[in-house]
A = this chain, B = another copy of it.
Amino acid sequence: MPAAAAPPALPRDGRRVLVVGAGIAGLVAALEMRRAGWSVRVLEAAPQAGGRCTTLRSGDVVEEEGGPAQRVTWDAAPHLYANPGPARIPHHHRGILGYCRTLGVPLEVLVDENRAALLASSAGPVPMRRVQADLRGLVAELAAKGLERGTAEAPLGEADLDALRAMLRRFGALDRDMRYNGTARAGWAEPPGAGLAPPRAMAPLDARLLLEPALWEGAAFAEGVDYAATMLQPVGGMNRIAAALAAAVGDALVTGADVLSLRRTESGARVAWRGMDGAVREEEAPRILLALPAPVLARLDSDLSAERRAGLAALHHAAAAKLAFQCERRFWEEDHAIYGGISWMPREATQIWYPSHGFHAAKGILIGAYIWDDETGERFGSRSPAERAAVIAADGEVLHPGLGREVAAPVSIAWRRMPRARGAWAEWTAEQRRSLYPLLRAPEGPYHFAGEYLSWFTGWQEGAVLSAWAALEGMA
């Protein structure tokens, strides 16, 4: 894992660069350019910096293309927010975390896997702890039986077999006979108290129930290197990072600057943009860093090569979507002892995220749906905001009967419908990585490129940071 991460050293030659797009990639690039004493201006179409790194709070408005504007009518309170875009930072994403550190963005733990969270099964919701414990028990028992039939291979000898058995016993909570008979890891049928009766562990789930994909698929998600503890989040919302970067970039940032066209000139390129006042301005620079999402850049009026424009348009972008709503009562904490984490269901809503902050507060914002499957995301996106909320409230009943009554002030974002994103993140095919990726990451005349799509960390802010550093390296 990377012990450290650092931007490239830049020549302090006072050069002038225009950056288009103030998402994480554009902001990071502009900040490093400023630190090197370069003359920078960043043009951002939105009224605020951040791009997909955004946070919804009371009063915010979501405007999807072709849909009605959605105003966020939650209470105004520091803990009542939702991150519709990136919402977690793995501890080893050293680039973005380095900016949090140097810019003083306070961080707190985000709970990704919570053993009290629920997995929907044909027999109703099952707590994650029970699935995890029983899966480990089942797999360890099978492994132990295999050992008796000689499945261990050289170079393992007889002494190693004893070590293997001891490991399996601990791994799966097996008994002395290498059988799994249940364990308190799965939870309590009778919890420990202060009475005379001893506690009693939960009995194992029926093996056939345990083999339902919705259980074992959901149970493994937090084994992924980008999903395993420790996961972090900025205190108060993900866009605290973009806000801190924007503050550091300072007056180099122009928001509400809608770029209309890009044209090469003899000494660089010229950008035409419309400002907040409606006036169209032109600005020329020897180098332009295009830090826009690929689908947005593909549609921009530009003299980028036809090959590049076709490639940008061909790059698949996920139809991810989220829906958040306010709850008057944190029923997940009060009724189920669920503090943060994610529940899963094989329904359109896919996931429920519980907040990892504001524990025991009066109200809470629940992410009632986090969808990333294309077909599901498209179906969700095609609905009206009100229809989406109705579907998601019904889906959630699978995990939390009565949830429908708790849904207030729902807000949803379908990322393909957001005009300044046109998708959630890039998804490269193996073939595109070979053929297209080298083309898209290479500079083209005065044009340079950055964005999460130009990294192996697509969909993560870390990818945006690393792509910005790579672009700077290409300019240095």
A155-179 interface bits toward B, Cβ cutoff 8 Å, 1 = contact, 0 = none: 1100010011011101111000000
Known interface pairs A224-B185, A228-B185; A168-B146 also in contact (CB < 8 Å): no
Pair A470/B356 contact, Cβ less than 8 Å: no
Q: Which segment, of A280-288, A315-323, A404-412, A455-463, faces chain B?
A: A455-463
Task: Tell me the smallest distance from the CB of A385 to a CB of chain B, in Å.
Answer: 31
How many chain A residues sit at the interface, stated as a range, is: 35 or more
> Quick check: is A476 within 8 A (CB to CB) of the other chain?
no
Known interface pairs A166-B213, A170-B220, A337-B1; A111-B230 also in contact (CB < 8 Å): yes
Pair A441/B356 contact, Cβ less than 8 Å: no
Task: Tell me the smallest distance from the CB of A308 to a CB of chain B, in Å.
Answer: 17
Pair B108/A109 contact, Cβ less than 8 Å: yes
Q: Which 10 A-B residue pairs are closest in the complex by CB-CB distance?
A: A146-B146, A192-B456, A142-B143, A109-B109, A194-B470, A145-B151, A194-B466, A194-B455, A163-B211, A115-B228
Known interface pairs A223-B185, A224-B184, A441-B194; A160-B211 also in contact (CB < 8 Å): yes
Interface residues in A419-434 by Cβ distance below 8 A to B read 433
Query: In the bound complex, what is the Cα–Cα distance between A97 and B359 (angstroms)?
Result: 10
Pair B191/A2 contact, Cβ less than 8 Å: yes
> Quick check: is A216 within 8 A (CB to CB) of the other chain?
yes
Interface residues in A62-115 by Cβ distance below 8 A to B read 91-92, 94, 97, 100-101, 104, 106-111, 113-115
Question: Which residues of chain B are within 8 angstroms of A6 by Cβ–Cβ distance?
Answer: none
Pair B164/A211 contact, Cβ less than 8 Å: yes
Pair B135/A171 contact, Cβ less than 8 Å: yes
Query: In the bound complex, what is the Cα–Cα distance between A216 and B170 (angstroms)?
Result: 8
When the two chains form the complex, which single residue of B145, B191, B340 contacts A146, counting CB atoms closer than 8 Å? B145
Query: In the bound complex, what is the Cα–Cα distance between A358 and B193 (angstroms)?
Result: 34
Task: Tell me the smallest distance from the CB of A449 to a CB of chain B, in Å.
Answer: 10
Query: In the bound complex, what is the Cα–Cα distance between A150 and B467 (angstroms)?
Result: 50
Question: Which residues of chain B are within 8 angstroms of A470 by Cβ–Cβ distance?
Answer: 193-195
Task: Tell me the smallest distance from the CB of A463 to a CB of chain B, in Å.
Answer: 7
Pair B1/A188 contact, Cβ less than 8 Å: yes
> Quick check: is A447 within 8 A (CB to CB) of the other chain?
no
Known interface pairs A1-B191, A171-B220; A91-B455 also in contact (CB < 8 Å): no
Question: Which residues of chain B are within 8 angstroms of A111 by Cβ–Cβ distance?
Answer: 109, 229-230
Q: Which of A104, A187, A207, A454 has the most CB of B within 10 A?
A: A207
Task: Tell me the smallest distance from the CB of A306 to a CB of chain B, in Å.
Answer: 23
Known interface pairs A359-B232, A466-B194; A187-B223 also in contact (CB < 8 Å): no
Task: Tell me the smallest distance from the CB of A1 to a CB of chain B, in Å.
Answer: 5
Query: In the bound complex, what is the Cα–Cα distance between A360 and B171 (angstroms)?
Result: 34
Interface residues in A190-231 by Cβ distance below 8 A to B read 191-196, 198-199, 207-208, 210-211, 213, 216-217, 220, 223-225, 228-230
> Quick check: is A147 within 8 A (CB to CB) of the other chain?
yes
Pair B454/A359 contact, Cβ less than 8 Å: no
Query: In the bound complex, what is the Cα–Cα distance between A160 and B142 (angstroms)?
Result: 14
> Quick check: is A363 within 8 A (CB to CB) of the other chain?
no
Pair B199/A456 contact, Cβ less than 8 Å: yes
Pair A337/B146 contact, Cβ less than 8 Å: no
> Quick check: is A438 within 8 A (CB to CB) of the other chain?
yes
> Quick check: is A129 within 8 A (CB to CB) of the other chain?
yes
Question: Which residues of chain B are within 8 angstroms of A279 by Cβ–Cβ distance?
Answer: none
Task: Tell me the smallest distance from the CB of A371 to a CB of chain B, in Å.
Answer: 20
Task: Tell me the smallest distance from the CB of A131 to a CB of chain B, in Å.
Answer: 11
Task: Tell me the smallest distance from the CB of A165 to a CB of chain B, in Å.
Answer: 10
A328-356 interface bits toward B, Cβ cutoff 8 Å, 1 = contact, 0 = none: 00000001111111000000000000001
> Quick check: is A136 within 8 A (CB to CB) of the other chain?
yes
Closest partner residue, chain B, to A149 (CB atom): B149
Pair A230/B341 contact, Cβ less than 8 Å: yes
